Homo-oligomer: A and B are copies of this chain.
Amino acid sequence: MTPELIPRRALHDELADRIRQMIIEGDLQADQKVPEKDLCARFGVSRTPLREALKVLANDGLLVLTPNRGSTVAGVTEQDIQDVFPVMSALESLSGELAVQNMSDVAIAKLQQTHAAMVKAYRAKDLPLYFRLNQEIHRGILQGSGNAALIAVYDSLNIRITRMRYVADMTKDRWAQAVAEHVVMMDALTNRDGNLLSEVLRHHLENKRETVLRWVQKSKKTKVK
């Protein structure tokens, strides 16, 4: 494996980002052991900054560190889903309320454009593009709340249940429904209807919950260790 050199910046920070990304992307799978040596080779760094990154990721719940036995990737359990989604729902609700209060007309107009592009991607059945734009919109609303604590906390939960793999598990119906909900979202936003935006965001999240849950249940069967 050729050591992939990392551009300058605090190494532990960069490493944490990279490894986080690997977990989300599925390059590191749930319950997989992650020897330090491998990651050091992978990134061409020594163990010192790597271990700093591992501690941070463990603190965020993405890795499980067992003393003297190294790190494993934390899986997404049904319990996690049961716990995380109600909290995210409450946060979405707040996010919607704050976004309609704080977003500028310009910011909303920009989201409208992204939304239009996303609908186009949907019609073209371009799943990767759709997904990217979809994420962009959700992030736009969250950012629109103007609340740094909300954003940080939401992200920390979202990352614990977001894995690229489950995207494939979205059914045609659900996809159509998701797009329909996005239309309502944009309406609520332009009309600055906080209650409606909150409600549709929560409903939208509920659909995500079901998709993630199905994915977790499926992969539970697959990996009969």
Contacts and interface: CB of A to CB of B under 8 A. Distances in A.
A146 to B, nearest CB: 8
Contacts of A60: 59
Nearest to A80: B149
Given A51-B52, A52-B55, A156-B153, A94 B83 contact: no
A93 interface: yes
Contact of A148 (B51, B83, B93): B83
A153 B147 contact: no
Contacts of A214: none
Given A12-B55, A56-B55, A60-B59, A87 B48 contact: no
Contacts of A83: 147-150
Secondary structure type dominating chain A contacts: helix
B91 A87 contact: yes
A7 interface: no
A98 B83 CA distance: 11
B87 A150 contact: yes
A70 interface: no
Work out how many copies of this chain go into the complex: 2
A86 interface: yes
A90 B52 CA distance: 33
Given A55-B56, A90-B91, A84 B157 contact: no
Interface string A46-80: 00100111011001110001010000000000011
Contacts of A93: 90
Interface of A: 9-10, 12, 48, 51-53, 55-56, 59-61, 65, 67, 79-80, 83-84, 86-87, 90-91, 93-94, 98, 147-150, 152-153, 156-157, 160
Shortest Cβ-Cβ A-B pairs, 10 listed: A83-B149, A84-B149, A52-B55, A90-B94, A90-B90, A83-B147, A56-B59, A87-B150, A87-B149, A83-B148
25 contacts: A9-B67, A10-B67, A12-B55, A48-B48, A51-B52, A52-B55, A55-B55, A56-B59, A59-B60, A79-B148, A83-B148, A83-B149, A86-B98, A86-B150, A87-B91, A87-B147, A87-B149, A90-B90, A90-B93, A90-B94, A149-B157, A149-B160, A153-B153, A153-B157, A156-B156
